[in-house]
Amino acid sequence: MRMILRLRPYLLGLLGIAIITFPFLWLQLDPDFDNNTIKVRWAPQHGLQFFDDLLPVFVVSLLIWLGIRANRHWHWDQAAARNQTWQKSVAVWDDYWAWVAMPLVLCGPFFLSATGLGLLTNAGIYMLLALGLNITVGMTGLLVLGYAAFFAFGAYFFALTQQHLGYFPWWMAAPLAFPLGGAIGYLLGLPCLRLRGDYLAIVTLGFAEAFREIIRNLDISVAGGDQGIILKASSKFQPLWGLNRGDMCYIITALALFLAVFLVQRLYHSPVGRAWIAIRENEIAAEAVGVPVVQMKLLAFSLSAAVAAVAGVLYGAKDGFVSPALCEFNQSIMVLAMVILGGLGNSYGALLGAALLYLVPEYLKLLPSAIHDSPTLSAIVPTFVSNSLQNLSDYRLLLFGAVMVIMMLYRPQGLLGSARRKTEMRNA
């Protein structure tokens, strides 16, 4: 009886999902154009194909669940945490991780393919965006839903300037985009100082949509309209020191990411970071003990927007093309989901969330062809798994939604979030 009561919410949830998805999975519409009618017929093959495509996901989920249950029984994580060798290695990694990670990352062009470097470069740009948004959402507690507008501002600043100047490469645009993006964030923060929660989210969303519509409706000769702007070849990343253009894109993005992580972490562990945390926890109490709330909020807005503007310049220099699609609503939501998945307020969590949410769907697209082209993988991977992976990337949005729901239920603080943050969210 207790088991039934414990499983009751999950069973009801599964029943609700089954009812909602029943028309889409098990029924098919057959239009009759001669009689202007539509017939509904039972199509079980559609539902069976859907579950067949997701079979690898179910298998992996089962293995993860078994691992969690085994860990609860044998407490492997607690045993590892008490191990002296593990504790020393963790302490050494915390102190010297950058000196280990940086050479490994910068050596990427020597052992990664061009496709892999391209994916990692895009992931690095999303990591920059997640790191910047984490300043406002995670550290300061300001809900921003129009963050992609600052990203698009940096890209369009670079694109428009290089159109009107004879020589304006990325290494001149990026240092200028940082203060200009910060200024835009400061100006947006001024009218938002009295707003909190949903109201602040709506204002920032309105700013992003207004910026996108302005770019779309400017004269085509100025901003390119919906067609966007193609950048000059001289403004983009150029081959240097025997490295091709793709290698330079990767290395410059990695260096910018390391620099941003260093600066943000220094701020986080400084009085500025403690002021941000105090505002996040209780703004009224923070103001009562002397925290300059107005200045700290404006600083958070400015620094967050500045990081996004630099990411926009790197994106333009990499792809050589910018368009209004950069500041669409789904871009802002994707970056926000990266921050939440990794752990609000944790810089490394934001990086991890960005890497997972970008790289996993992309590699799902490449996995079927990689298995097919490799004789070894073709022999190892079962046929039903390789057939299922052919269509698995089509369900990436479904898997993304399922992962976010599970995270909110079982680990609301995020992958690298602290237990204290979990308690705060549950008691909010």
Per-residue pLDDT of 12-66, as tens digits, reads 877 887 788 777 777 887 777 777 787 778 888 877 777 777 777 777 778 887 8
pLDDT surpasses 60 at 177: yes
Among the ranges given (112-121, 135-144, 223-232, 380-389), the one the predictor scored with the smallest mean pLDDT: 380-389
pLDDT of 162: 81
pLDDT class of 79 with cuts at 50, 70, 90: confident
CA distance 108 to 248: 11
* Residue 370: count of CB within 10 angstroms of its CB: 12
- pLDDT > 90 in the chain, percent: 10
pLDDT of 285: 87
Helices (H), 75-113: 76-82, 84-106, 108-111
**Given its phi and psi angles, is residue 345 left (phi above 0), alpha (psi -120 to 50 degrees) or beta?**
left
Q: What are 405-412's contacts with CB under 8 Å, separation 24+? A: 407/340, 407/341
pLDDT surpasses 90 at 262: no
pLDDT class of 349 with cuts at 50, 70, 90: confident
Hey, which of 284-288, 369-373, 380-384 has the most confident mean pLDDT? 284-288
Helices (H), 75-83: 76-82
More confident residue, 78 or 148: 148
The model's pLDDT over 215-225, given as tens digits with 9 standing for 90+, comes to 888 777 677 77
Output the six-digit token pair for 243. Answer: 């490295």
Output the six-digit token pair for 98. Answer: 């950058």
pTM for this model (two decimals): 0.83
Output the six-digit token pair for 345. Answer: 């307020």
CA distance 321 to 226: 12
CATH class of 116-377+400-426: mainly alpha
pLDDT of 428: 55
DSSP for 185-227, please give it: HHHHHGGGTT--HHHHHHHHHHHHHHHHHHHHHS-HHHH-GGG
Q: Write down the mean pLDDT value for the chain.
A: 81
CA distance 28 to 22: 11
pLDDT of 304: 93
pLDDT of 290: 85
Domain ranges of the chain: 116-377+400-426
Q: What letter would DSSP give residue 138?
A: I
| Mean pLDDT, residues 161-175 | 81
More confident residue, 371 or 312: 312
Pairing outcome for strands 37-42 and 229-230? unpaired
Angle at 349 between CA 206 and CA 108, to 5 degrees: 105
C-alpha closest to that of 320 among 211, 232, 213: 232
pLDDT of 96: 63
CA distance 393 to 279: 41
Among the ranges given (5-9, 29-33, 34-38, 422-426), the one the predictor scored with the smallest mean pLDDT: 422-426
pLDDT surpasses 90 at 102: no
Question: Can you name the residues that pair with 37 across neighbouring β-strands?
Answer: 32
Helices (H), 233-346: 245-268, 271-281, 283-288, 293-319, 329-342
What residues have CB less than 8 Å from 28, skipping those under 6 apart?
A: 40, 41, 42, 43, 46
pLDDT surpasses 70 at 353: yes
| Mean pLDDT, residues 164-179 | 84
Which single residue is written with the structure tokens 């993860």?
64
Sign of CA dihedral 286, 288, 292, 298: positive
CA distance 77 to 29: 51
CA distance 364 to 231: 31
Burial of 93 (0-12, 13-18, 19+ CB in 10 A): exposed
Q: What letter would DSSP give residue 233?
A: G
pLDDT surpasses 70 at 154: yes
pLDDT of 323: 85
Are 170 and 158 in contact by the 8 Å Cβ rule? The answer is yes
φ and ψ at residue 112, rounded to 5 degrees:
-115, 150
Are 311 and 303 in contact by the 8 Å Cβ rule? The answer is no
What residues have CB less than 8 Å from 410, skipping those under 6 apart?
A: none
pLDDT of 179: 93
